[in-house]
Chain A
Amino acid sequence: MTGLAAEDITLVDLVDRVLNKGVVLTGDVTLSVADVDLVYVGLRVLLASAGTLDRLERER
């Protein structure tokens, strides 16, 4: 894992927790569902590319 990728994954993990986990009192989130989906899709892409980077690194 490159240093950058590991750092990215840590950020992904933090944002994933903040958006998707924790106590929910109202269910009335400020972020619209579309916004969250967009952020989430972006994070998935980031995560996938981090995995790809890692594989390329090993195959080099």
Chain B
Amino acid sequence: MIRLYAFVDGLRLLPHGLRSSRMHGLDAVVGAAPGSDDRVQAALVHGRVVESLREQADAVLPVRLGEDFVDDAALEAAVAPRAHALQERLEEVRGCVEVGLRVVGDVLPTGEGPRDGASYMRMRLAPLRLRNALEESLHAPLERRAKAARVAPFGSAPLMLEASYLVSEGAVDDFAGEAVDLASAWPRLSVTCTGPWAPYSFAEADA
């Protein structure tokens, strides 16, 4: 079995033990698929490989963990119907990296339950109000600065906002600087910017 890690363009250095295979106008980076191993460990190894490809290539399109194929022919057959779309995505992310944003925080004072129906409804509304405010005053300015953005649907507190931004490699410091500036308006929330990552969230057109 072989494991697919990413599609790349302009790769300068292959990570140890991997090879690049040209198919349908794309360079696929593959390696021998490890047998069953620790799941989190496998995810970390996959992630480190993709991040080293990001550092060594002009463009990288990360592949989700678990895309294993019997051989190159099987991989080629799977790539064939998607080749054009994948080439387009690869061009979209050329020269760009992904920056992640997470906002975590409790909305309500601890230890206070609802006293009546009205206060219960206010309690239910509080996280939605906070979410809307964060989208307007934190996410929107960052989205304007980015080439593209993806926001995860709101689940529930305390994870108030989870978003990814596609940013030109040279603009990451400025982008992070603006995120820090904007976050200072929310001293009670924990705002975390991570990256730069390979553009995982922008690898599929409708991700």
**Which residue numbers of A lie inside 8 Å of B, CB to CB?**
1, 6, 9-11, 13-15, 17-26, 28-31, 35-36, 38-39, 42, 44, 47-48, 50-51, 54-55, 58
Contacts and interface: CB of A to CB of B under 8 A. Distances in A.
A6 B47 CA distance: 18
Contacts of B158: 48, 51
16 contacts: A1-B192, A9-B192, A10-B194, A13-B194, A18-B44, A21-B64, A21-B204, A22-B50, A22-B64, A23-B89, A30-B33, A31-B65, A39-B39, A47-B159, A48-B104, A55-B106
A19 B41 CA distance: 12
B47 A24 contact: no
Interface residues of B, number: 48
A13 to B, nearest CB: 4
Nearest to B46: A18
Contacts of B68: 30
Contacts of B149: none
B82 A18 contact: no
A17 B62 contact: yes
B165 interface: no
Given A25-B82, A48-B159, 9 more contacts: A13-B100, A14-B44, A14-B47, A17-B62, A21-B204, A31-B42, A35-B39, A36-B39, A54-B104
